[in-house]
Amino acid sequence: MSSLQFWQNYISIFPFRLSGAAFARFSHSAFPKLKMDSSCEPAAEVPSKQTLLVSKTPETWHITISLYRLFNPKVVYEAVVKSRFPAAFLDPVMLTGNPLDLQIAARKAVDRAARNTMITKSLPMEFLVSVSPRTQISDSLRTFGFRPADKFVLVVWLHSAPSPPQAELDKLLAVMKGNGEEVSLEKLSELRDMTKIANYYKFDILGPKPDGKEKAKEWTELLIDFVTSQIATKQ
């Protein structure tokens, strides 16, 4: 069994908890092999916040994901730095849109926290480093972190309760008021830059992205799998 199959099976034995099961369509299109649990709620027209189960042992952990379009990114960035939210703020351009990547990264961060072996000072930062295939904190921040000029930001809350702290959600809502708006997670596939991702991960086995529609689709799917395997096998 490959490392990718291991993590796919490891994560998928736990059911998803979704606040809008239209995310099932989003995640299926990004990673067709990932099977959704039948306990998903009825489909919503616009999937926004989504909660995924990361771990049941030794403690239950979830991640809740939301995507924001920013009107005043610098204002939001400064507020995020000042407020120290219990969440990771990521640039969606360097993410393939595969939710399994976020689950694996979260599981790794939670496991290291439980073993007192974190290489950073907070769980959100540990998650951010776990998303990266490299170990340098500065590289992870530079490549995947939220910057003052970003027009979109993906917010990933890590929480042991069924949902993130309401006080923190309200605080973020106040920051976003007039400065940003929550948008559908389906937009992630539009924001990602697969060429940049391929270059960063040194995905050169098949050469650059081909022009033909079918070949380009196959290339993209292989790249998504490759990225997931890199996150899963990172030591």
Task: Give domain status of residue 35, yes or no.
Answer: yes
Work out the average pLDDT over 162-166: 92
Task: Give domain status of residue 116, yes or no.
Answer: yes
| CA 97 to each of CA 28, 92, 114, 136, 186: distance values in angstroms, whole numbers, following the listed order | 10, 8, 27, 23, 9
Residue 215: pLDDT band (50, 70, 90) is: confident
pLDDT at 156: 97
pLDDT at 49: 78
Task: Give domain status of residue 97, yes or no.
Answer: yes
The SS3 call for residue 70 is strand
| CA 209 to each of CA 31, 80, 94, 215: distance values in angstroms, whole numbers, following the listed order | 18, 36, 16, 8
pLDDT at 79: 96
Name the β-bridge partners of 88: 156
Task: Give domain status of residue 21, yes or no.
Answer: yes
Full domain range(s) for residue 41: 10-194
Q: Report which residue type is found at 222.
A: L
CATH code (residue 21): 3.30.2380.10
pLDDT at 204: 79
Query: Helix crossing, 99-114 with 3-12: angle to 10°?
Result: 80
What gap in Å lies between CA 48 and CA 97, rounded to an integer? 14
Task: Give domain status of residue 71, yes or no.
Answer: yes
Least confident of 103-117, 156-170, 206-220: 206-220
pLDDT at 42: 34
pLDDT at 59: 82
Cβ distance 106 to 86 under 8 Å?
no
Work out the average pLDDT over 1-28: 40
Task: Give domain status of residue 144, yes or no.
Answer: yes
Task: Give domain status of residue 229, yes or no.
Answer: no
pLDDT at 47: 56
Work out the average pLDDT over 157-175: 94
Torsion of CA 224, 230, 232, 234, to 10 degrees: -160
pLDDT for 9 beyond 70: no
* Percentage of the chain modeled with pLDDT above 70: 78
Burial of 139 from C-beta contacts in 10 A (0-12 / 13-18 / 19+)? middle
Q: How many domains does the chain have?
A: 1
